[in-house]
Amino acid sequence: MNRLWKRVEIMALRTKIDSYDTGMNRVCDYIYENLDEDLSVEHLSQFAGFSKYHFHRQFSDYFGVGIFRYIQLLRLKRASYRLYFNPDAKIIDIALDAKFDYPESFSRAFKKAFDQSPSEFRRQAHWVSWNEKYQFGGSKMDKKHQAEHLEARVDIVNFTETKIAVFEHRGAPELVNESAGKFIKWRKQTGLSPVAKSQTFGLIYEDPKSVPADKFRFDIAGSVLHEVPDNASGIINKTIPAGRCAVIRHLGSHEGLDTKIHYLYGQWLPESGESLRDFHCFFHYQNFFPEVAEHELITDIYLPLV
């Protein structure tokens, strides 16, 4: 009888923990999807199913960052991308979009968060230290994404050979955005791989967690109709070969891509009976942040098969 009650108690505890995790993940999703709205503790705690009197402390203990700081950092993340990748955007407009009433208050908050003013960040972003600000939450914030991949559909398609213009990123994963900025600048200046009419790819050579930072390799690419001439921007020609590929769609932040990749390699591939072809895993980006909100991002992950 004692063993039975013990088992019941354990099951009840697991149910309670799952409910707690679900509530926290629900409120995070809600924040992502409503960054432009007024997000009060009262409303968020009610949405999550927690008491408003304890929610701030619960959120902080769970994710390692306070609720208002979390919201502000997400808004500043979007602002950072607009500053760096949209050089023509006015700082005052970016500040207002980030829910600041005055550009001065935006500049102070940005400087406090990243040790750079908005203007300094636009000129030369310190991406490594910037990325460190977004390491809060750890594995707890990934629980929902870890569960999502179990329901993801994997299709097998015939990929058409595609010529690509490539900027080869070599070095720390945290500096990929710096390389992306150089590729975007080349695209805009030359018009040889226009974003609106071309496809955008990322070719990943290894797991960033399995190699030293200086050994990480990632190609940022755009489709082209003709080979790119020699240039001073470091853009070279490559080809994604034709062939069978397993493809899985990822919805949301690019930070969750590794979960889908691990699922493809670790679960789907052994169970499918398929064999890998001698080409790298690659991404096809269907849209871009901050043109769309992070939760609206669509990325197709391709795994080349024999």
For residues 123 and 160, membership in a common domain is answered with no
Structure tokens at 287: 């849209």
Asked whether residue 93 is domain-assigned, the answer is: yes
Same domain, 165 and 248: yes
Please count the other Cβ atoms lying within 10 Å of the Cβ belonging to residue 41: 15
Q: Are residues 164 and 295 in the same domain?
A: yes
| 243 domain-assigned | yes
- Same-domain status, 46 and 98: no
The CATH number for 111's domain is 1.10.10.60
Percent of the chain with pLDDT over 70: 88
Q: Is residue 146 part of a domain?
A: no
Query: What is the mean predicted confidence (pLDDT) over 176-182?
Result: 97
Over the stretch 11-29, which tens digit does the pLDDT of each residue have? 433 444 456 677 888 888 8
Beta strands across the sheet bearing 200-204: 154-159, 243-251, 298-304, 281-285, 200-204, 217-223, 162-170, 235-240
The pLDDT value recorded for residue 179 is 97
User: Residue 125: which domain range?
Assistant: 69-135
Residue 183 has pLDDT above 60, yes or no: yes
**134-172 pLDDT tens trace:** 886 544 444 444 544 455 799 999 999 999 999 999 999
Query: Based on the domain organization, do 288 and 214 belong to the same domain?
Result: yes
3-state class of 62 per DSSP? helix
pLDDT band, very low/low/confident/very high, at 8 (cuts 50, 70, 90): very low
Please check whether residue 144 lies inside any domain of the structure: no
Tell me if 293 is assigned to some domain: yes
Asked, for residue 143, whether it belongs to a domain, the answer is no
Decide: 116 and 108 in contact? Cβ < 8 Å. Answer: no
Who wins on pLDDT, 294 or 144? 294
Instruction: Tell me whether residue 8 is in a domain.
Output: yes
Same domain, 79 and 211: no
In tens, the pLDDT along 241-257 reads: 999 999 999 999 998 89
- Tokens (6 digits) for 231: 């240039």
Kindly report, residue by residue over 189-241, the tens digit of the pLDDT: 999 999 999 999 999 998 888 889 999 999 999 999 999 999 999 999 999 99
> pLDDT per residue over 107-130, tens digit each?
999 999 999 999 999 999 999 999
Q: Is residue 102 part of a domain?
A: yes
Q: Against a cut of 0.95, is the pTM above it? A: no
The pair of three-digit structure tokens given for residue 245, joined into one six-digit string: 């590929």
Residue 108 CA to residue 40 CA, distance in Å, equals 22
Give whole-number Cα distances, 43 to 38, 75, 105, 153, 304, in Å. 9, 18, 25, 34, 46
Are residues 80 and 124 located together in one domain of the fold? yes
What is the average pLDDT value for the chain, to the nearest integer? 88
As given in the structure block, the two tokens for residue 200 are 């955008």
Give residue 4's pLDDT.
46
CB proximity list for 218: less than 8 A, separation 6 or greater: 169, 173, 176, 179, 202, 203, 204, 205
Q: If DSSP codes are grouped into helix, strand and coil, which group holds residue 197? A: coil
DSSP code of residue 260: H
Question: Are 206 and 269 found together in one domain?
Answer: yes
pLDDT at residue 16, rounded to an integer? 41
Q: Are residues 169 and 225 in the same domain?
A: yes
Closest listed residue to residue 175, CA positions, set 114, 127, 120: 127
- Domain boundary among the residues 65, 92, 112 is at 65
Same domain flag for 286 and 197:
yes
Instruction: Report the alpha-carbon distance of residue 108 to residue 114 in Å, rounded.
Output: 10
* Rg for the chain, CA atoms, rounded: 22
Q: Is the pLDDT of residue 54 over 70?
A: yes
The amino acid occupying position 99 is K
Higher pLDDT, 1 or 267: 267
Structural domains of the chain, count: 3
Same domain? 201 vs 126: no
Query: What span, in angstroms and rounded, lies between the C-alpha atoms of 100 and 105?
Result: 7
Span of 5-9, 75-79, 261-265 with lowest mean pLDDT:
5-9
Q: What is the pLDDT of residue 1?
A: 52
pLDDT tens by residue, 59-71: 888 888 888 999 9
- Distances from the Cα of 54 to the Cα of 10, 37, 41, 147, 237, angstroms: 25, 22, 10, 27, 56
What is residue 51's predicted lDDT score, i.e. its pLDDT? 80
